[in-house]
């Protein structure tokens, strides 16, 4: 489908303009926070509650914003709220050659808050992609595609766990998917379920550590499917994703993040078609900046991911072929 992306880029520019418009108020709030610091008792209380001591009482800091994206609960007066998520990325190698394709994953989140710690959300996904070479190196044209629709239940502060590193806060979410994207339809997928847990703890001096655990289970109508090339392939059965993230908050508004991840995908086997498959395993790294601005959270940097059983031994990490520039935007309305 051919179309112009001018409206999409215009909306992104308008969002950035709004950030700049608020910058004066943000700097003033920073100064006021420095003139009126928290007491040691308040600092300890906020740290054990999973809230950065640097964060203003009425707003999120970068660590809280990471939790908001995973399993956040809206803070507005009304129990009803709306949020928008966008993940834009381009392959570094294709971008360097002037032929990179901007690919974006988006969803709108229609939320209803039960309590200050629990919320349910309905999220339709959609993709807006430009023309150019995609991540597989194939030429592709502009496109808009609908993705899945899923229902998510969020629960903040599930538990406060005592560990050797100190108290660890646990938040979580549960997702149930209606498979609506082209790939799921081709596989004749019935549904899939995902749990998303985040464990986070302050380490002191603005350093935080977060561990993300995301198991997913696929409910398939069949063990195999015929792909677009008329080849018989195995359907996915379940997967586990692990992500360890170190965060440094420079101020109550921005910081940096370095993460390392491992994902394992497991497939069905088919005796009828004499097909069996080993696990697909992926290793990932991500280096990014974090910026939290009054209900808007930005995270951008470089992502690297490689399939372990296909990785060339002489390929360095963060090589241009296997990495991408990305910008994540999460807006709570």
Provide the CATH number for the domain around residue 127.
2.40.160.40
Q: Is pLDDT at 169 greater than 70 in this prediction?
A: yes
Average pLDDT over residues 295-307: 94
Domain span at residue 144 reads 6-332
Return the exposure string of 267-301: e unless at least 16 CB atoms fall within 10 Å of the residue's CB, then b.
bbebeeeeeeeeebebbbbbebebebbbbbbbbeb
Average pLDDT over residues 167-191: 95
Q: Is pLDDT at 89 greater than 60 in this prediction?
A: yes
Q: How confident is the model at residue 164 (pLDDT cuts 50, 70, 90)?
A: confident
Helix (H, G, I), strand (E, B) or coil at 63: helix
Question: Which pLDDT score is estimated for 146?
Answer: 95
Structure-token pair, residue 289: 């900046």
How many independent structural domains does the chain possess? 1
Question: Which pLDDT score is estimated for 26?
Answer: 41
Lowest mean pLDDT among 70-79, 103-112, 155-164, 183-192: 70-79
CA distance 118 to 282: 32
Could you read off the pLDDT of 1-60 as tens digits, one per residue? 444 444 444 445 445 444 443 444 443 344 333 433 333 333 333 443 334 433 333 456
Contacts of 203 (CB under 8 A, 6+ apart): 165, 166, 209
Q: How confident is the model at residue 76 (pLDDT cuts 50, 70, 90)?
A: confident
Question: Which pLDDT score is estimated for 16?
Answer: 47
More confident residue, 227 or 20: 227
Lowest mean pLDDT among 165-169, 221-225, 279-283, 326-330: 165-169
Q: Establish if 32 belongs to a structural domain.
A: yes
Q: Is pLDDT at 300 greater than 70 in this prediction?
A: yes
More confident residue, 281 or 50: 281
Q: Establish if 43 belongs to a structural domain.
A: yes
Q: Establish if 1 belongs to a structural domain.
A: no
> Could you tell me the pTM of the whole model?
0.80
Q: Establish if 200 belongs to a structural domain.
A: yes
Q: Is pLDDT at 71 greater than 90 in this prediction?
A: no
CA distance 154 to 122: 11
């Amino acid at each position: 489908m051919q179309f112009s992306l001018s409206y999409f880029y215009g909306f992104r520019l308008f969002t950035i303009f709004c950030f700049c418009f608020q910058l004066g108020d943000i700097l003033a709030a920073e100064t006021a926070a420095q003139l009126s610091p928290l007491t040691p008792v308040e600092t300890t209380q906020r740290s054990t509650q999973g809230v950065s001591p640097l964060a203003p009482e009425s707003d999120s800091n970068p660590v809280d914003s990471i939790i908001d994206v995973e399993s956040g609960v809206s803070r507005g007066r009304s129990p009803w709220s709306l949020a928008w998520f966008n993940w834009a990325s381009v392959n570094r190698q294709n971008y360097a050659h002037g032929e990179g394709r901007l690919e974006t994953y988006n969803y709108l989140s229609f939320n209803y808050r039960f309590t200050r710690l629990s919320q349910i959300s309905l999220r339709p996904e959609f993709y807006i992609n430009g023309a150019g070479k995609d991540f597989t190196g194939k030429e592709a044209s502009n496109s808009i595609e609908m993705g899945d629709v899923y229902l998510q239940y969020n629960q903040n502060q599930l538990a406060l766990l005592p560990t050797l590193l100190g108290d660890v806060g646990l938040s979580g979410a549960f997702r149930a998917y209606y498979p609506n994207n082209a790939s799921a339809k081709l596989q004749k997928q019935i549904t899939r379920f995902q749990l998303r847990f985040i464990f986070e703890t302050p380490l002191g001096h603005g350093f935080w550590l977060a561990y993300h655990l995301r198991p997913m289970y696929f409910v398939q109508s069949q063990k195999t499917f015929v792909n677009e090339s008329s080849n018989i392939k195995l359907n996915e059965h379940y997967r586990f994703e692990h992500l360890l993230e170190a965060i440094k908050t420079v101020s109550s508004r921005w910081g940096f993040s370095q993460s390392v991840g491992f994902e394992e995908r497991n497939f069905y086997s088919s005796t009828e078609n004499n097909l069996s498959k080993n696990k697909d395993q992926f290793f990932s790294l991500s280096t990014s900046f974090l910026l939290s601005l009054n209900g808007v959270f930005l995270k951008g940097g470089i992502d690297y991911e490689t399939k372990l059983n296909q990785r060339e031994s002489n390929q360095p990490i963060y090589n241009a072929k296997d990495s991408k520039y990305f910008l994540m935007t999460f807006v709570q309305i």
